[in-house]
Amino acid sequence: MAGLLHLDASARSRSFSRELGGVFAAAWREAHPDGDYVHRDLVAEPVPFIDEAWTELCDNVLSSGITDLHRLKENVRTPRQAAAWATLEPLFDELVAADVVLIATPMYNFGVPASLKAWIDQVTFPKMRLTGRRFVVASARGGAYGPGTPREPFDHQERYLRDFFAGHFAVEDVAFLSVELVNALIDPGLAGRRAEHGESHAAALEAARTLAKEY
């Protein structure tokens, strides 16, 4: 049975990334009526930052060589490590159980929100592999950061996530759906680019519906 883990990371309750992720999730659930669907709002239910006990768990993974996803708990050795594991275990289990991971996130300050980074830190251990799973990132950005744009070098959102998925999860199958120029709706200096935003918005929504049916 297929499974979808849907994460929301926008601080806005009504945001383009939430809308885009919601469209993908709805289309996926329609295409997989018997599939498992888990939604986690990383803002409504913030994930704690990692602590020293979590770093000890990582050290234990390296020293023991136990990297099998279903055996990582064997690296827990002390009461405070057990407490750290209890915090991350439900997050980790949701991730491991999913066939498709949908991350709906805005670009904040050229990167990802702290809410998403906290989740990433909690569920990531040395030498873990999530091959066979597919990742979809539904993003929204205030400006234009696509290939060939002046601000492309400042895009540390998509670049970071691609590098992270490949380097830590050994996953290359990542699709990015992006709504660009959302600030054109409120910034007078970008008002002349509202049509570009509208085109980007419409194209991203259509791509989300199409991609969900393929996944």
- Quick one: which of 164, 169, 201, 156 has its CA closest to 182? 201
Tell me if 16 is assigned to a ligand binding site: yes
Range list of β-strands (E), the chain = 3-8, 36-41, 100-106, 134-140, 174-179
Tell me if 108 is assigned to a ligand binding site: yes
Tell me if 63 is assigned to a ligand binding site: no
Residues 9, 113: contact at Cβ < 8 Å? yes
Phi, psi torsion values for 103, nearest 5 degrees: -115, 110
Residues 13, 197: contact at Cβ < 8 Å? no
Tell me if 200 is assigned to a ligand binding site: no
- Quick one: which of 29, 37, 30, 32 has its CA closest to 6? 37
Q: How far is CA 168 from CA 84, 87, 125, 128, 135, in A?
A: 20, 21, 8, 7, 13
Tell me if 1 is assigned to a ligand binding site: no
Measured distance CA(13)–CA(149) in Å, rounded: 29
Measured distance CA(18)–CA(173) in Å, rounded: 22
Tell me if 10 is assigned to a ligand binding site: yes
Measured distance CA(50)–CA(108) in Å, rounded: 21
- Which amino acid appears at position 185 of this protein? L
Binding residues for FMN, by number, are 10, 15-17, 107-110
Q: Which residue numbers belong to the known binding site?
A: 10, 15-17, 107-110
